[in-house]
């Protein structure tokens, strides 16, 4: 019977982009300015992410404690909100649409391990289409697309693609209902 042998682990097929100096510099910039609560300014965080290659739309809010692995793999649309302690593990491309809400502690995961292999590494991107809401503490696994206006409820885990205008709950997440949006009327 085969056994896992991590001494055979070979990460050579994975190329995070950027040179070693850029990755090291981002590690410290991320730790000092994004992962901390000392810098409350979303605009400054957006500026830093763009400086390191992220493509970010207008009026994006980034709360304290957000952790971004490699910003040069990150695309975010307009009017998107990223809550406290969100972990964006963009080892490979992550695309977040416009008007998306990533609630506190949500995780977008692009790297994992193939338990069938003794060396065990795999990566795949994540896509969140426009209007998606990811609840607090929810996790999107690698390779998952969350279609337009879908909701993943708090603490749930998406292991497969989520359909548009649907609400998902659980681990693994299953569809529990349709999402019906009601227009807001002033008055």
Tell me, what CATH number does 163's domain have? Answer: 2.160.10.10
Which range of 18-22, 38-42, 107-111, 181-185 scores highest in mean pLDDT? It is 107-111
**How far is the C-alpha of 83 from the C-alpha of 63, rounded, in Å?**
5
The answer to whether residue 187 sits within a structural domain is no
User: How many structural domains is the chain composed of?
Assistant: 1
The answer to whether residue 5 sits within a structural domain is no
Q: What pLDDT is recorded for position 12?
A: 65
The dihedral of CA 72, 14, 156, 179: what is its sign? positive
The answer to whether residue 7 sits within a structural domain is no
The answer to whether residue 135 sits within a structural domain is yes
pLDDT band of residue 118 (cuts 50, 70, 90) is: low
Q: Which residue has the higher pLDDT, 145 or 17?
A: 145
The answer to whether residue 3 sits within a structural domain is no
The answer to whether residue 6 sits within a structural domain is no
Q: Which residue has the higher pLDDT, 4 or 91?
A: 91
Q: What pLDDT is recorded for position 7?
A: 78
Alpha helices in 17-91 (DSSP H): 20-29, 42-51
The answer to whether residue 43 sits within a structural domain is yes
- pLDDT tens per residue, range 89-104: 999 999 999 999 999 9
Beta bridge partners of 121: none
Does residue 80 have a pLDDT over 80?
yes
**Quick check: pTM over 0.75?**
yes
- Give CA 49 to chain center in angstroms: 14
Range with the poorest average pLDDT among 74-83, 89-98, 112-121, 129-138: 112-121
The answer to whether residue 8 sits within a structural domain is no
pLDDT band of residue 168 (cuts 50, 70, 90) is: very high
Beta strands in the chain (DSSP E): 55-56, 61-62, 67-68, 74-76, 81-82, 87-89, 94-96, 101-102, 107-109, 111-112, 122-123, 126-128, 133-134, 139-140, 145-146, 151-152, 157-158, 166-170, 173-178
**How far is the C-alpha of 181 from the C-alpha of 155, rounded, in Å?**
22
Over residues 12-25, mean pLDDT? 83
Q: What pLDDT is recorded for position 54?
A: 98
Query: Quick check: 56 and 72 in contact, CB under 8 A?
Result: no
**Enclosing domain of residue 52:** 18-175
Over residues 131-146, mean pLDDT? 98
Over residues 114-142, mean pLDDT? 89
For 8, phi then psi, to 5°, come to: -90, -5
């Amino acid at each position: 019977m085969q056994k896992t042998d991590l001494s055979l682990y070979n990460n050579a097929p994975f190329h995070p982009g950027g040179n070693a100096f850029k990755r090291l510099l981002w590690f410290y910039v991320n730790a000092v300015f994004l992962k901390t609560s000392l810098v409350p300014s979303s605009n400054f965080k957006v500026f830093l992410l763009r400086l390191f290659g992220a493509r970010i739309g207008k009026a994006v809010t980034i709360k304290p404690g957000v952790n971004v692995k490699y910003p040069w793999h990150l695309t975010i649309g307009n009017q998107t909100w990223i809550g406290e302690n969100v972990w964006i593990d963009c080892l490979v491309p992550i695309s977040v649409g416009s008007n998306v809400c990533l609630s506190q502690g949500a995780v977008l995961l692009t790297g994992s391990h193939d338990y069938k292999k003794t060396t065990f590494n795999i990566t795949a991107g994540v896509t969140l289409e426009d209007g998606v809401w990811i609840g607090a503490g929810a996790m999107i696994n690698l390779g998952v697309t969350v279609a337009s206006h879908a909701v993943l409820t708090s603490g749930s885990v998406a292991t497969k693609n989520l359909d548009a205008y649907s609400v998902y709950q659980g681990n693994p997440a299953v569809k529990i209902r349709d999402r019906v949006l009601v227009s807001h009327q002033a008055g």
